[in-house]
Chain A
Amino acid sequence: MSVLAHVFEQAGLATVGISLVRGQAEAAKPPRMLNVDFPLGRPLGKPNDAEFQTSVLMAMFGLLERTDVPVLEDFPESIEDQTGEAPDSCPLPPRHNPELHAAIDEAQGLRNAYDRNLEATGGRTLVGRIAGVDGIAGLIEQFIEIENGSSLADIGWDPMTTIAVGQDVRAYYEEAGLQLADNTGARQLETWFYHQTETGQLIRRVRDLMKEREEDGTAVTYLAPMTQG
Chain B
Amino acid sequence: MAADAMIRKNVSGLPSPDLTPTATALNKPLSECKVAICTTAGLRSAGDIKLWMDSSFTVLPNEARDLQLSHFSPNFDRAGLTADLNTAYPADRLNELVDAGVIGSVATNNLSFMGAQMDATFSAIIQDTGPAAAQILIDDGVDVVIFTPV
A, B: real partners: yes
Residues of A within 8 A of B (CB): 1-24, 27-32, 39-48, 50, 53-54, 57-58, 60-61, 64-70, 80-81, 83-84, 121-126, 128-129, 160, 163-164, 166-167, 170-171, 174-175, 177-178, 184, 186-190, 222-227
Most buried by B among A23, A40, A65, A125: A40
Given A21-B12, A53-B93, A190-B79, A4:B133 Cβ within 8 A: yes
A14–B11 touching, CB < 8 Å = no
Does B106 sit at the interface, judged by CB under 8 A? no
Interface residues of B (CB under 8 A from A): 2-4, 6-8, 11-17, 19, 21-26, 30, 33, 38, 40, 46-47, 49-51, 53, 65-70, 72-88, 90, 92-94, 96-97, 102-103, 113, 115, 122, 125-126, 130-131, 133-135, 137-138, 142-150
| A129→B72 CA distance, assembly (Å) | 11
Inter-chain CA distance A65–B145, complex, in Å, is 14
Q: A24-B16, A40-B8, A129-B50 are in contact. List 7 more A-B contacts (CB 8 A).
A: A13-B24, A15-B146, A18-B149, A40-B4, A43-B148, A47-B83, A50-B96
- 15 inter-chain pairs at a CB distance below 8 angstroms, sorted by A residue, are A4-B147, A6-B21, A8-B130, A14-B23, A16-B146, A27-B14, A27-B15, A31-B22, A54-B93, A65-B26, A163-B51, A163-B74, A171-B69, A175-B82, A184-B79
Judge whether A81 and B65 touch: CB under 8 Å. Answer: no
Please indicate the chain B residues that have their CB under 8 angstroms from the CB of A50 in the complex.
86, 92-93, 96
Give the contacting residue for B82; candidates A126, A166, A222, A227; CB below 8 A.
A126
Partner pick for A81 among B3, B72, B84, B145, CB 8 A cutoff: B3
Nearest Cβ in chain B — how far from A17, in angstroms? 3
Contact, CB under 8 Å: B12 / A8 = no
Q: Is the CB of B94 within 8 A of A57?
A: yes
CB distance from B119 to the nearest CB of A (A): 11
Kindly state the separation between the CA atoms of A39 and B8 in the bound complex, as whole angstroms: 10
Residues of B within 8 A of A24 (CB): 11-12, 14, 16
Residues of chain A within 8 A (CB-CB) of B16 are 2-3, 24, 27-29
A41 near B74: Cβ-Cβ < 8 Å: no
**B25 to A: closest C-beta gap in Å:** 5
Known: A27-B14, A40-B76, A184-B83. A16 touches B131 (CB 8 A): no
Q: Which B residues touch A1, using CB under 8 A?
A: 38, 40, 113, 115, 147, 149
Which residues does chain B contribute within 8 Å of A29, judged by CB atoms? 16, 19, 21
Interface residue from A20, A53, A163 paired with B86 (Cβ < 8 Å): A53
Report the minimal beta-carbon distance from B36 to chain A, rounded to whole angstroms: 8
Complex CA distance for A40 and B67, rounded to whole angstroms: 19
Known: A8-B38, A15-B145, A41-B81. A128 touches B68 (CB 8 A): yes
In the bound complex, do residue A124 and residue B93 qualify as a contact, i.e. CB atoms below 8 Å apart?
no
| A40 CA / B113 CA spacing, docked (Å) | 17
Residues A186 and B77 in contact, CB atoms below 8 Å apart: yes
Write the chain A residue with the least CB distance to B9. A23
A189 to chain B, nearest CB (A): 4
Q: With A and B bound together, what is the CA distance between A6 and B23 in angstroms?
A: 9
| Minimum distance in angstroms from A66 CB to a CB of chain B | 7
